[in-house]
Amino acid sequence: MNRRNILWSAVSALGAALGASSAKAATEAGASNKLKVVYHLSDAEKVNFVLGNIQNHIDGVGGPEHVTIALVIHGPALKAFHSAQANPDVSKRVGDFSKDGVELAACGNTMKAQNVTLSELLPGFVSAEKGGVVRLAELQSQGYLYLRP
């Protein structure tokens, strides 16, 4: 074997070892660091669309255990989540998302403006007392990716 072949073999082996090490590190990091996503909803006409996006997201990654999702709602869209007004499909989806661990945050400012309390919203909601936009910024600062369908 000549020197060029020996050198090429050594470089190839080193490259393969480094590649395997990087792949292992990426796999381990991926297992412990789930993707975190926050959906922003304020438009009443987009309620069903956004809920569908969240379900597609959960299904697309193989289930809720593979992603951390938060939904922050403010403005006119919050009315769709009032217990007294919510349609059955919205109620079911919210219940399913709550069981799947989706954070459902209602803007405290919007709740005051609509004169609604947390107990009057569908079960599973928490109050974003500082406001929906503040909650969005907090989640983004924690590494959540921002989506506004």
**Contact present, 77 and 44 (Cβ < 8 Å):** yes
Please report the pLDDT score of residue 28 as a whole number: 46
Nearest residue to 111 via CA among 122, 103, 102, 95 = 122
Exposed e or buried b for every residue in 17-28, given b needs 16+ CB within 10 A?
A: eeeeeeeeeeee
What strands, in cross-sheet order, belong to the sheet with 145-147?
Answer: 125-128, 103-107, 67-73, 35-41, 145-147
Average pLDDT, 10 consecutive residues per value, the chain (149 residues): 55 46 46 85 98 97 96 98 95 96 98 97 97 98 97
CATH code assigned to 34-147: 3.40.1260.10
Domain ranges of the chain: 1-32, 34-147
Q: Write down the pLDDT at residue 54.
A: 98
Query: For residue 33, what pLDDT is reported?
Result: 75
